[in-house]
């Protein structure tokens, strides 16, 4: 397997749980479902970016930073949704 292809496959496969969670949230929590779909898409984009980087350290670093930022911003949105639901908001 080429440099960077194995990590790309692992990241791509790890996006599946995000899509499954989105599907389970779709009816009761549509906002959370949307965020989880976006997490899955960010992970797939990161996987494609890692495959594109092909083991080049500079490209891999840039892709990793972009993916980390995207996933963490989306994680904050999940946290905000959880806090709102606990406080009784919608």
Per the structure, the count of domains in the chain is 1
pLDDT single digits (tens) 31-82: 889 999 999 999 999 999 999 998 899 999 999 999 989 989 998 988 988 8
In terms of residue numbers, what domain contains 48? 5-86
* Residue 65 CA: distances (Å) to CA of 2, 60, 70, 87: 21, 9, 9, 33
Q: Is the pTM of this model over 0.85?
A: no
Interacting residues of 74 by C-beta distance below 8 A, sequence separation 6+? 35, 38, 39, 42
Secondary structure of residue 4 in the 3-state scheme: coil
């Amino acid at each position: 397997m080429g440099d960077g292809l194995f990590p790309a496959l692992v990241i791509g496969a790890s996006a599946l749980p995000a899509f499954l969670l989105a599907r389970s949230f779709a009816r009761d929590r549509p906002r959370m479902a949307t965020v989880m779909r976006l997490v899955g898409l960010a992970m797939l984009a990161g996987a494609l970016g890692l495959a594109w980087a092909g083991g080049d350290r500079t490209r891999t670093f840039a892709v990793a930073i972009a993916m980390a930022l995207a996933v963490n911003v989306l994680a904050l949105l999940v946290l905000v949704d959880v806090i709102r639901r606990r406080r009784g908001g919608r």
